Amino acid sequence: MERMRVVVGDITTLALDAIVNAANASLLGGGGVDGAIHRAAGPKLLEECRGLGGCPTGAAKLTRGYDLPARFVIHTVGPVWQGGKADEDALLASCYRRSLELAAGHGLTRIAFPAISTGIYGFPAERAAPIAVRTVAEVLAHDRLFGEILFCCFSEPSAELHRRSLRSLSADDRPLN
């Protein structure tokens, strides 16, 4: 799990191949990380997004990064929390998986993820972090293309949930003697 790292900060400042946007289905900007990415990228991002025709929950689409330090933005639409009875876990995992598949298809090896769906969409952060870490780890286990995957958390409590998930994953990987 040496290719995964947790940082606390502003995802819009990261100079990577791509950052992931926790977008809404229209891809036309919104609040939280979505609004911050659109503001930092400038109006050309919105212009490109208008031509994409939106994005379904659990899927991902790629745009240029424009005024961002990241070369590209991967937009993914996370599930709105409905109490865990509407396949939210699988849809959230799909966001991470589809984002990495899209990145791999474009040769993008250094990616940063926000904590998808844990803001206004209400997905419990303590449930989302293990799903995020486990899903990314599963992709990394089968794809050596990726160099560095960051979980860029806006707060220290979110970062600690991701660190705990990474530690737990590492503990699960230790051989049983």
Residue-wise pLDDT tens digits, 94-119: 999 999 999 999 999 999 999 999 99
User: Is residue 82 pLDDT above 60, yes or no?
Assistant: yes
- Which positions are annotated as active-site residues? 34
Is residue 62 very low, low, confident or very high in pLDDT (cuts 50, 70, 90)?
very high
Residue-wise pLDDT tens digits, 112-141: 999 999 999 999 999 999 999 999 999 999
Is residue 1 very low, low, confident or very high in pLDDT (cuts 50, 70, 90)?
low
- The answer to whether the predicted template modeling score (pTM) of the entire model surpasses 0.85 is yes
User: Is residue 175 pLDDT above 60, yes or no?
Assistant: no
- For 20, 31, 148, the CA distances from 37, given in Å and listed in that order, are 9, 10, 20
Q: Rounded mean pLDDT of 57-76?
A: 98
The torsion defined by the Cα of 7, 12, 17 and 19, in degrees rounded to 10, comes to 80
Domain that includes residue 97, residue range = 4-173
**CATH number, domain containing residue 104:** 3.40.220.10
Is residue 177 very low, low, confident or very high in pLDDT (cuts 50, 70, 90)?
very low
Domain count across the chain: 1
- For 23, 56, 63, the CA distances from 46, given in Å and listed in that order, are 12, 18, 10
User: Is residue 40 pLDDT above 80, yes or no?
Assistant: yes
